[in-house]
Amino acid sequence: MPVSRRQLLLSSLLALPALVLAPRSAQALGGPQPPVDEPAPDFSLPTDDGRERLSLADFRGQWLVLYFYPKDGTPGCTLEAQRFQQDLAAYAERNAQIVGVSADDLSSHSRFRENEGLSYPLLADVKGEVSKRYGSWLAPFSLRHTYIIDPEGVLRANFTAVRPVIHSKEVLAKLDELQAG
């Protein structure tokens, strides 16, 4: 018995949610994610906060929240940065530092930090080299991903589905979980 156009359309529409909701491979957007519970990928990038460069080794002995974001001054990036700044004291209580990374240059970072009153460093990954190591690069931008690195330099958690309005609270909750365990 031949299939009618209506039946074909209906079966296609019923299959659509499975296609849309299917999990995407980390390889598909930004590249492979670094493995959790392994040493975090090393980095050394120029910073806008008065120091010449910051490296992973500079954070030994404390927790590091390393967050990648697309562009200084855009609405989502501004909201995410403001939320981290707003919660900075809570991170300090947990012996954790916040560091942002994007492909913007140092002058853009300086303006962004000044405009938003940010007191944590922003690193300039203008060629995307570190973003690529963290699976957070979709040229010409870093993707909105966050990584929690423990005091020994081991990657303990990653966030690849970031919602800027609640993200800082999610990171704090995960940090509490990791520190309690």
What is the domain range of residue 168?
A: 40-180
Residue 139 lies in a domain: yes
pLDDT tens digits along 112-164:
999 999 999 999 999 999 999 999 999 999 999 999 999 999 999 999 989 99
The rounded distance, in Å, linking the Cα atoms of 98 and 67 is 8
What band does 15 get if pLDDT is binned at 50, 70 and 90?
Answer: very low
pLDDT tens digits along 100-109:
999 999 999 9
CA dihedral of 170, 172, 173, 177, whole degrees rounded to 10? 130
Three-state secondary structure string covering the chain: CCCCHHHHHHHHHHHHHHHHHCCCCCCCCCCCCCCCCCECCCCEEEECCCCCEEEHHHHCCCEEEEEECCCCCCHHHHHHHHHHHHCHHHHHHCCEEEEEEECCCHHHHHHHHHHHCCCCCEEECCCCHHHHHCCCEECCEECCEEEEECCCCEEEEEECCCCHHHHHHHHHHHHHHHHHC
Task: Read off the pLDDT of each residue in 9-30 and give the average, rounded to a whole number.
Answer: 40
Q: Minimal CA–CA distance to 101: which of 75, 62, 71, 73?
A: 71
Q: What are phi and psi of 36, to 5 degrees?
A: -70, 150
From the list 77, 99, 124, 162, the catalytic residue is 77
Residue 34 lies in a domain: no
Residue 12 confidence (pLDDT): 37
CATH classification of the domain holding 79? 3.40.30.10
Packing angle between helix 164-180 and helix 75-86, nearest 10 degrees?
40
| Contact criterion met (CB below 8 Å) for 83 and 167 | yes
User: What mean pLDDT value characterizes the chain?
Assistant: 87
The question of whether 36 is a catalytic residue gets the answer no
Only one residue has tokens 């995407």, namely 24
Residue 29 confidence (pLDDT): 73
Residue 5 confidence (pLDDT): 52
Residue 18 confidence (pLDDT): 35
Query: Total structural domains in the chain?
Result: 1
pLDDT tens digits along 64-85:
999 999 999 999 999 999 999 9
- Which residue has better confidence, 103 or 2? 103
Residue 92 lies in a domain: yes
Residue 3 lies in a domain: no
Residue 88 lies in a domain: yes
